[in-house]
Chains A and B, each alone.
Chain A
Amino acid sequence: MDDALIPKGVKRCPLPEFLMKLGPVVVVLIWGIVAMFMCWFKGLNQTNMNDSYGFALWIWADLTVIALGGGAFFTGLLRYIIGKDKLKNIINFAVLVGFICYSSALLILAIDIGQPLRGWFIFWHANVHSMLTEVAFCLTCYFGVLTIEYLPLVLENRQVDQVSFFHHLSHNMHEVMPIFAATGAFLSFFHQGSLGGVAGVLFGRPFAFREGILIWPWTFFLFTWSAAAYGPCFTIMLAKITEKITKKKLIKDDVYALLAKISGWMMATYIMAKIIDTWYWAVVTAPSKGQGFMEFYSDNAFYGIWILILEIVVGGVIPAAILITRKGRSTPALLMIAVVLAVIGVSVNRWVMVLQVMAVPVLTFEGWPMYYPSWQEVATTLLPVAYGILLVAFSYRYLPVFPQEAELNPIDLESDETAESVTASETADAKLSPAKA
């Protein structure tokens, strides 16, 4: 039915099957959209946020998807600026994942603010001293960059490509791409960093506050670094999952290995920096405000020292150790474990820097307020996941996302009609959701 749109040299399942398998995803999407409109029309009383938890699940989701989407800028940087040419085989996918992550982040922000109709005041009445302003500007600009990076891929669709203008546009954009990628890296450095700065500058909150250089607290650099380190892991993880679902090898192992190795070393250095930062904070920064290290991990129903261990050891030291060893990253199971742990590690880090910051009491006469999200918050957080799955599925089906696919999966054109269709539609599999959520 839609044969004309499917890239040459690859095979896709019949359209009805594809659409049917996406059904459950669409249901989640609609559920999320309903919740989104409830939040817009009825206000944020639909959430379980409160005056102690002004930031909650959504801001965590924002920080996390942006960290995970960091694979796009870092891979781009490696590919276009550093010249790791091999990564051209994964860059499209990395850009796609990045595009999904960043568009999701912007959508969540648009739901999260109390007055969405005035959201643009953040640009118009910008306070340049606010980390959030920096976030908003860089995020939006970088989303523009991602769109520019994603656009040529769309233009490469068989039908679109037939329009001469688009063909040339795509070609020209590829030519200029290093400049765009450089700009993207510049912007990413600042918004990833400023997201870290969001928590780090809170000098009223000893749990979050960090010293730093000039106006930038250490968390600024730690966030950029961790996004660069962990983002590619997420790209690898999603690519692996896509391979599982499509039951095809889509990217060659040496590409994975290269990215994993770089990611591993980034992670190893990051986690060392993080440990030093934590140590300094625990023995110098926080005590200078009168709060002892263990105060942050006791006297409450949830936050124990386990969360720090989970973040740093389980989600940092272990995956880094796996990825920096040749054996580790070339053993598929270990690689998978490493990237999953890494994704957990960075997600926990973002959780801690948002939700635990809100939870820790500062006034001596206040306790730990506890929070759990309302269904509306959960639904709107799953909304981008569903949307992401759809975008990956459609991109995979109609766009040449994986340059190595045709080579790795040669098809007999004669038997095209009858070939067993293993399709992207299975991306709808629920396995994807928790990984990205």
Chain B
Amino acid sequence: MTFLSVLHLLLALAGAPLLAGIIHRVKARTAGRRGPPLLQLYFDLGKLLKKGAVYSRTTTWVFKAGPIVGLAAAVLSLSLVPLGPVPAVAAFPGDLILMVYLLGLMRFVTVLAALDTGSAFEGLGASREVQFSALAEPALLLGLGALAATARDMSLSGIFSGLSLPAAPPSAAPVLLLVSAATFIVLLAENARIPIDDPNTHLELTMVHEAMVLDHGGVDLAAIEYGSSLKLWIFAALLSGVALPVATGSSAADLLLHLAGVLAVAVAIGLVESGMARLRLLRVPQLLLAASVLSLLALALALR
């Protein structure tokens, strides 16, 4: 753990909402509109934090606890994520498992909060969410496993520093390619992006993630929004680490480079979103299974 890793953590905590702004801006530009300001999400969060709250009579403490626990889990798992060769704040063998499971915890509480309202729409959203993530999780873990097999290391930071170009084994290239593809798909699924989910549709029946938070408002909604932007940052950081396996000599340069990478990922997401339409729900599992297959392929290559 170095000063830079702390810096990365702080930057992530501060800059995560920016990614959403970038995505929106890119989408608007490709559609020929001006689009909202880059900092829109910050404004939204600020407004939400000022508001009071209205709770459904159906709900219990589970509903109130959901956003907080989710946010805490997101922050904690963010602290486990390295930015390329820049190690994470905490790194130990098997930390990637903890990271994935913290995201799982976040999902669990969100889903329960959704079910707590007793609303049909939120139940619908929850049921789709758990289905997709149940398929996304193996893909992600196997992909990371492939990386571990290539880097012969058990901790995320070790893996990514081991994979960065000068140190990386020559056989790593195809593995990295496959894994980054898989990770990108998982990213889209986990962060409720097109083509898996449409964050700003106006028809609740087609929502997945947004349907789960229909009933939240004020501070809670702020926590949720912020948490999901942190989640997006986590995946973006991972992806830039995989897709951009470069370690310049100086770690400061690495930090900057991969920050750029994270922003690039956001841009890519924006492009994909503006280029594609939402998939039919029945097609989504196939896409996720494809991601798992990619990861397995990567593993096969790494273990050969």
Do A and B bind? Answer: no
